[in-house]
């Protein structure tokens, strides 16, 4: 019986069949991997930068909106007087809080006013006197690039955080609109015998800020603030 003989492979053939990657192939693979890693790192860095910028823009917008809302709410109360009805019907009665109801600097970067706080807390009595705590106002501090708020006579405190926001512009423009007091002969008249005018007031406020950590992030807001407390006078100027 013939038996088929299986050829025996030489050791050299085994070495050739089990041969791995060459050094050139390994370096090419590493290079390709580095390119892929560099691309992924670039995408990740871009996404992290965009996310940081979005968070910074949201913070700047939120802080700016909060400052604008607070300033608008406080300015609306300028000239408030608990006995405002007396300046129309009672003779020779003037609102003591409207002597300088809105005074701004030549640069229109600050505004000061008076308003009565005698009725706070509820149950208080109007004393018709401007107390130290009844001074209010806002200004741009050129040294800190922040907006300061006046809480009482001469007591200024920062409203915006100079470590986050840099206020580059803060303007306040006061406008007066005259209207005749619609009460006929029952209302008092001026010393010259002229009819009184109801002086309605509003303030156009503009704020421009930029982020301290990224000056490219800039935001602005403009608002027209209508004062609730009109002033009765001979001429609205």
HSE-up (13 A, CA, CB side) for residue 126: 13
Check whether the bond before 195 is cis (ω within 30° of 0). no
75 pLDDT exceeds 80? yes
Indicate whether 3 pLDDT > 60: no
> What's the confidence (pLDDT) of residue 141?
92
Residues 114-156 have pLDDT tens digits of 999 887 766 678 888 899 999 999 999 999 999 999 999 989 9
Q: What is the pLDDT of residue 5?
A: 56
Q: CA–CA separation, 122 vs 136, rounded Å?
A: 20
Q: What is the pTM of this model?
A: 0.72
Nearest alpha carbon to residue 159 among 121, 217, 117, 111: 111
């Amino acid at each position: 019986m013939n038996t088929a003989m299986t050829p025996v492979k030489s050791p050299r053939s085994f070495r050739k069949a089990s041969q791995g990657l060459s050094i050139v192939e390994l370096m090419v693979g590493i290079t390709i991997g580095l390119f892929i890693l560099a691309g992924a790192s670039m995408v990740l860095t871009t996404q992290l930068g965009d996310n940081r910028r979005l968070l910074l823009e949201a913070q700047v917008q939120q802080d700016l909106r909060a400052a604008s809302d607070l300033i608008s709410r406080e300015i609306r109360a300028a000239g408030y007087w608990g006995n405002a009805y007396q300046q129309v019907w009672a003779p020779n009665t003037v609102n003591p809080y409207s002597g300088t109801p809105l005074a701004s600097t030549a640069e229109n970067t600050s505004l000061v006013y008076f308003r009565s706080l005698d009725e706070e807390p509820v149950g208080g009595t109007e004393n018709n006197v401007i107390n130290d705590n009844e001074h209010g106002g806002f200004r741009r501090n050129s040294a800190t690039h922040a907006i300061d708020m006046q809480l009482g006579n001469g007591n200024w405190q920062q409203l915006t955080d100079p470590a986050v926001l840099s206020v580059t512009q803060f303007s306040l423009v006061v406008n007066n609109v005259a209207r005749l007091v619609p009460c006929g002969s029952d209302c008092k008249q001026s010393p010259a015998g002229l009819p009184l005018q109801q002086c309605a007031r509003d303030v156009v406020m503009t704020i421009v800020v930029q982020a301290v950590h990224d000056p490219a992030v800039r935001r602005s807001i403009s608002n027209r603030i209508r004062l609730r407390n009109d002033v009765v006078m001979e001429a609205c100027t």
